[in-house]
Amino acid sequence: MTEIKYAKSPLLNMSSITLFYDDAATKLDLERAQISFIKKELEATKDLILLQELNVLHYYIPVKREALTGDASEKLRRIGNRILGQLNAMRLTEVVINSEVPDGAYSLLVAEGMALGNYQFLKYFKNKTAKKNSFSRVHIHDAKVKPTDVAELNHVVGATLLARTLINEPHSYLTATQFAKEMQKAGKEAGFNVKVMNKKEIETKKMGGLLAVNMGSLEPPTFTVMEYRHDKPKNKKPIVLVGKGVVFDTGGLSLKPTPGSMDEMKCDMSGGAAVVGAMHAIAANQLPVHVIGIVPATDNRPGMNAVCPQDIITISDGTTVEVLNTDAEGRLILADALVWAKQYKPELCIDLATLTGAAIRAIGTYASAVMGTAEQQVMDALMESGVNVWERTIQFPMWPEYGDEMKSDIADLKNLGGAYAGHISAGKFLEHFTDYPWIHIDIAGPAYSNSASDYRTKGGVGVGVRLLYDFIKRRYSN
Ligand code: BES
Ligand code: MN
Ligand code: ZN
């Protein structure tokens, strides 16, 4: 992992990155010829300028004298990642960021892009050292940045990368049982409580959704509850985070038609990974809040005893569901989790799930589909966080007609809606199991990527961790 370090001194002989206002090039501590070179580059609208001395690189990033917007922040992360690529190509190991601008956020954003972009998942290579990036440390030398800001960023990046690793782990390692163990490990590291229910307890609690999805599997399900409570939380009632933890989704008896649609389905626990990551970041940074994380986990398989289309199952609150398509499994396990959340009388519940292909068809991979029953200003605050951290969200309506599609003529609900807007009918299905302000985030689009884009490395993206952290932090600041 990349270490982000607070630097008291300027570390003069090291490769560097300097942030400066684009109208203040003359104030840089450089020779005249270098300054005129920088000015020429600025005229050519370069967003990154390099002064190179053999194998010591000095980068200059011009920034505008304006309030830092979401897109400007994202540009800085991406520039950080571009620099990272060049440093790795030259087998360099560290860099120091200096800043001439009066706001510490700029340096932190560049470091964030570098640390996120430098992630690698090498566990399964025989020769890991040959593959390992050289770059390992970014120093921040910036009077406006506090050591605590650096510590916070390290925790948030670390939590995002933890989520990526959990997603990248194949089902051959990450069974539901192993996933629960990983959550316990995260709890020990970051300082939150973790309680894992095994199959027996899940049966006692009559979680018929989770048990039904698990019926075709050789591996038992788990139901994990994480809790972090600050000594003096600002919220009286907890925030509850729920994450879909389908460790592999074959579709069950309604088998996914390979090749193609099944090939990336180890990512179907990305919602659960986001919840663990968010819990990790919140606890490690000791945000003054009370948060509970719930992750129901199982694989979805067509084994001998698998749930059949037209079977009727009973969720833990007594709601009966006609299972018409066993590939619509996420909503079944989430139903039990949302019912479980009721006992906490949450101030707000947010679930994250790689729930529907319809969400991807609606908005592609650049954003998550959001809907829910929380007040509009809460939905707006989440959308704002999405722009801040560049994990954008877009809100969809929850009109009753979409819910009508989920009515069964033989049970209370069915798990399959109409042909269109399947992400919304799935959301309406989930809504049935809530009695508190609630937001559903369908992350099927951005959760997993088969090619790197900027600092979002190939594979698990860890989407949701930075989003939830920013949202919860801002909700309870001042
Ligand atoms: N895990 C999938 C959704 C998904 C698809 C996530 C692509 C990531 C990428 C989910 O369990 C699923 O199979 N949904 C079905 C629901 C349908 C049968 C109602 C879908 O969207 O096709
Ligand atoms: Mn499915
Ligand atoms: Zn699924």
CB 358 less than 6 A from any atom of ligand 1: yes
Residue 18 is part of a domain; what is its CATH number?
A: 3.40.220.10
Residue 125: the pLDDT is 98
Atom number, ligand 1, closest to the C-alpha of residue 354: 6
115, 114, 108: which is closest to 140 by C-alpha? Answer: 108
- Do 176 and 198 lie in a common domain? yes
Q: Are residues 274 and 183 in contact, defined by beta-carbon separation less than 8 angstroms?
A: no
Q: Whose CA is nearest to atom 9 of ligand 1?
A: 444
What sign results for the dihedral spanned by CA atoms 351, 356, 357, 360? negative
- Do 349 and 211 lie in a common domain? yes
Sheet holding 56-63, edge to edge: 3-6, 137-141, 94-99, 16-21, 56-63, 49-53
- Do 177 and 218 lie in a common domain? yes
Interatomic CA distance for residues 17 and 99, integer angstroms: 8
DSSP 8-state secondary structure symbol assigned to residue 215? T
Q: What is the 264 CA–ligand 1 centroid distance (Å)?
A: 11
Buried b / exposed e across 336-366, counting CB within 10 Å, b at 16+?
bbbbbbbebebbbbbbbbbbbebbbebbebe
- Do 141 and 160 lie in a common domain? no
3-state secondary structure of 345: coil
The single-letter code of the amino acid at 195 is: K
Please tell me whether the overall predicted TM-score, pTM, comes out greater than 0.85 for this model. Answer: yes
- Do 252 and 321 lie in a common domain? yes
- Do 186 and 88 lie in a common domain? no
Q: Whose CA is nearest to atom 13 of ligand 1?
A: 327
- Do 89 and 160 lie in a common domain? no
Strand partners, 3: 137
Q: What is the 250 CA–ligand 2 centroid distance (Å)?
A: 7
Considering the domain boundaries, does residue 342 fall inside one? yes
Residue finishing a domain among 111, 145, 179:
145
- Do 74 and 192 lie in a common domain? no
Residue finishing a domain among 118, 145, 172:
145
By residue range, what is the domain housing residue 59? 3-145
- Do 432 and 304 lie in a common domain? yes
Atom number, ligand 1, closest to the C-alpha of residue 330: 11
Q: How many domains does the chain have?
A: 2
Considering the domain boundaries, does residue 470 fall inside one? yes
Atom number, ligand 1, closest to the C-alpha of residue 268: 1
What Å distances lie between residue 16 and 40, 86, 132, 456, CA to CA? Answer: 20, 12, 22, 23
256 is catalytic: yes
- Alpha helices (H) in 15-146, listed in sequence order: 32-43, 70-89, 105-117, 128-131
- What's CA 170's distance to the chain center, in Å? 18
CB 442 less than 6 A from any atom of ligand 1: no
Residue 48: the pLDDT is 98
Residue finishing a domain among 117, 145, 173:
145
Considering the domain boundaries, does residue 194 fall inside one? yes
Please calculate the CA angle 10-14-17 and round it to the nearest 5 degrees.
75
- Do 127 and 241 lie in a common domain? no
- Do 241 and 119 lie in a common domain? no
Interatomic CA distance for residues 299 and 281, integer angstroms: 27
pLDDT in tens, the chain (478 residues): 899 999 999 899 999 999 999 999 999 999 999 999 999 999 999 999 999 988 899 999 999 999 999 999 999 999 999 999 999 999 999 999 999 999 999 999 999 999 999 999 999 999 999 999 999 999 999 999 999 999 999 999 999 999 999 999 999 999 999 999 999 999 999 999 999 999 999 999 999 999 999 999 999 999 999 999 999 999 999 999 999 999 999 999 999 998 899 999 999 999 999 999 999 999 999 999 999 999 999 999 999 999 999 999 999 999 999 999 999 999 999 999 999 999 999 999 999 999 999 999 999 999 999 999 999 999 999 999 999 999 999 999 999 999 999 999 999 999 999 999 999 999 999 999 999 999 999 999 999 999 999 999 999 999 999 999 999 999 999 7
CB 309 less than 6 A from any atom of ligand 1: no
Considering the domain boundaries, does residue 151 fall inside one? no
Residues 6+ apart with CB under 8 A from 388: 70, 73, 470
- Do 9 and 46 lie in a common domain? yes
The single-letter code of the amino acid at 131 is: K
Residue 44: the pLDDT is 98
CB 326 less than 6 A from any atom of ligand 1: no
Residue 197 is part of a domain; what is its CATH number?
A: 3.40.630.10
